A and B are shown apart, each in its own frame.
Chain A
Amino acid sequence: MISFIIRRLLLLPVTLLGLTFLIFFFTSFLSPYQLLSAYVQDPRQLQGANVEKLIEKYGLKKNFMVKYGNWLEKIVRGNFGWSLSLNEPVIKVIGQRFPATLELTIYAIVPVIWIGIWLGVVAAVHHNGVIDQILRVVALLGYSIPAFVLGLLILFIFYGVLGWLPPGRLDQWAQMIVYSKNFHQYTGMITIDALLNGNIPVFLDALKHLIAPILTLSYLSWAGLLRITRSSMLEALGQDYIRTARAKGLSERVVVNKHARRNALIPATTVAGMMFIGMLGGVIITETIFNYPGIGSFSAQAAEQFDYSGVLGVAVIYGLVTIIGNLIVDITYALIDPRVRLG
């Protein structure tokens, strides 16, 4: 187990290096002038005669490795350049918006895992029965409705028609409170901060704004998790050890919930991790639809407005989070599966 984690940790810097290399490789399509914003953190530097000097300084007309080395050094120090779309340093934008995205994803993933696995087990136990068929169709519908269509439909019904769930992250009055001096932002996740500040109305308002994005973000994922859990559960139920468990006189409930489910959870864990990563991509659409100020809507905005440093910065953060997420999945996997634990 320990050696397994150490091996994974040793691989981490290699993957990170490869990741930044890959991201930066795509900037080869940009001119030095377009790329410059990724190196500076003060917009005044992007004007006048200074520009040529900076291009010279960072070697933007030189070979790729020089450019890459200089950029890598900057981002290691936390300088992600200047965002032309928001007129702020990229690192500051990420610092403000990442907690919002994290808050949204965490709220979305927890019910997904819970409901998805539960439904998958139910479907497998009723294999080819009515419940299984219904869940199958609902799950396939989930695959087939793209997030931007579903999001718009939710917005249409719950905001356009009913006026219940407004877009954005907070109502005007709540924003006034949150950005006032008396309100301490401990985590940047407003629901948590509101509770820590003892401000229930703000908490409820933040929650109200989260519902529609959560629904949009999670629908596709729980459908996927349902299908995976179902098939791994079916596979587990067909194994010899299930027959043994039945031969021991254990009740069907114990056979399913103890012996089969524990085994079925192994592949489901991997998929749940992939879901989480998929969700991080999914927030791009969801946040854009609901005007939710996270890094997802920022990346879409930055891409649309040719804010290269913004897109680069977000990509690095996404890669980082994904790699760490994968690491956590692998470790969880090893914890569940004793066969890996030793290796």
Chain B
Amino acid sequence: MVKDVLLQVKNLHTVFHTEDGTVEAIGGVDFEVRQGETLGIVGESGCGKSVTSLSIMRLLPKGIGEVPQGEVIYKGKNLLKLSEREMRKIRGKEIAMIFQEPMTALNPVYTVGEQLAEMVELHLGMSKKEAYDYAIKMFEKVGIPMPEKRIYEYPHELSGGLRQRAMIAMMMSCNPNLLIADEPTTALDVTIQAQVLDLMRELLKEYNSSLIMITHDLGVIAEMADRVAVMYAGRIVEYADVVPLFKKPSHPYTVGLMRSIPRPDVEVDRLDSIKGVVPDLFHMPKGCRFSNRCPYAIDKCFEEEPPLVEVEPGHYTRCWRYQEMEELSKHWESGEEVGKTSK
């Protein structure tokens, strides 16, 4: 059964106008989110995953961030073409967003109840009284104890876990079709992380909402996502359903990410990690953007950027050597010698 496509992002480009010139943070990103499904976007910090979500919501910093090219089709409408007024009706009501750090993402000078209530007053047309009652209900739903008391507390009076629950309650309060969660559990303790993820999954199921889960944590992806886009330096480098991706990663960056997770079933001397850091936007490698860190890079990789090709039905990758990847990925550590042509 193929579900309806809820959101389709086509050839999205985002640029930033900085003091030192204009840089491209996202260079042509395509993906789609289906009704009731979860898309995971994974990558290191600075790869453009957060910028992608802000571009969809049109919340890029004014005068600095801009989307010169691309389409974001939501229910048949291109969000990028909407007026600011129409867009405001989408934000919070149709598409809601959860941020990484609930301490800074919640306004410190208003009670958490007020911050939820003002949203439902706006979108659901409730009165102040109804909105506060509704806030109590939502808090209860996300498992905040003593909700009738908690709604009158300020963010700093809640624990990190409760704060993120309050944030989720707030963003789910208008029953959005799509939720974008930007590293929602990164700032939380590990035990709390699992609880919050469980809560999100339950709510999504109940509301039949879709989710874009942005994270650097493949564990979260494995647990939550139906489909995954791996981003690197403003590009999608691999895009596939979650099972094939984990079974048969076809891009060296994905391989590297997977190898940097500790696995109890495989004994390794040390944790592999990808050498180096994401290149800064002003100094992108000429060819494949991962070439300077890639253990399997060949001459071609430094000269020409590979296209996104379909490896198997629904599984795309952006690598010149994807056909050899299964073999190559067995030798990550000695990868630098494998198949590298001498100069």
Contact = CB atoms under 8 A, between A and B. Distances in A.
Interface of A: 239-241, 243-252, 254, 258-259, 262-263, 266, 336-339, 342
Given A262-B110, A263-B109, A338-B156, A248 B92 contact: yes
Given A248-B119, A248-B170, A240 B105 contact: yes
Contact of B108 (A245, A246, A258, A263): A263
Contact of A339 (B110, B123, B154): B154
A245 B59 contact: no
A26 to B, nearest CB: 43
Interface string B209-251: 0000000000000000000000000000000000000000000
Contacts of B96: 247-248
Contacts of A339: 108, 154, 156
Contacts of B171: 247-248
Shortest beta-carbon contacts, A-B, top 9:
A249-B92, A249-B91, A240-B104, A248-B92, A241-B107, A247-B97, A338-B154, A240-B105, A244-B105
Contacts of A337: 108-109
A249 B108 contact: no
Interface residues of B, number: 30
16 contacts: A241-B104, A241-B105, A241-B107, A243-B105, A244-B107, A246-B91, A247-B96, A247-B97, A247-B99, A248-B118, A249-B123, A250-B92, A254-B118, A262-B107, A262-B109, A338-B156
Contacts of A246: 59, 91
A247 B107 contact: no
Contacts of B59: 243, 246-247
B108 A247 contact: no
Contacts of A259: 107, 110
A243 B99 contact: yes
Contacts of A336: 109
B82 interface: no
A339 B108 CA distance: 8
Contacts of A244: 97, 99, 105-107
Contact of A245 (B89, B90, B107): B107
A248 B57 CA distance: 10
B110 A249 contact: no
A250 B118 contact: yes
Interface string B103-125: 01111111000000011001100
Interface string B28-63: 000000000000000000000000001001010000
Given A243-B59, A244-B99, A338-B154, A249 B93 contact: yes
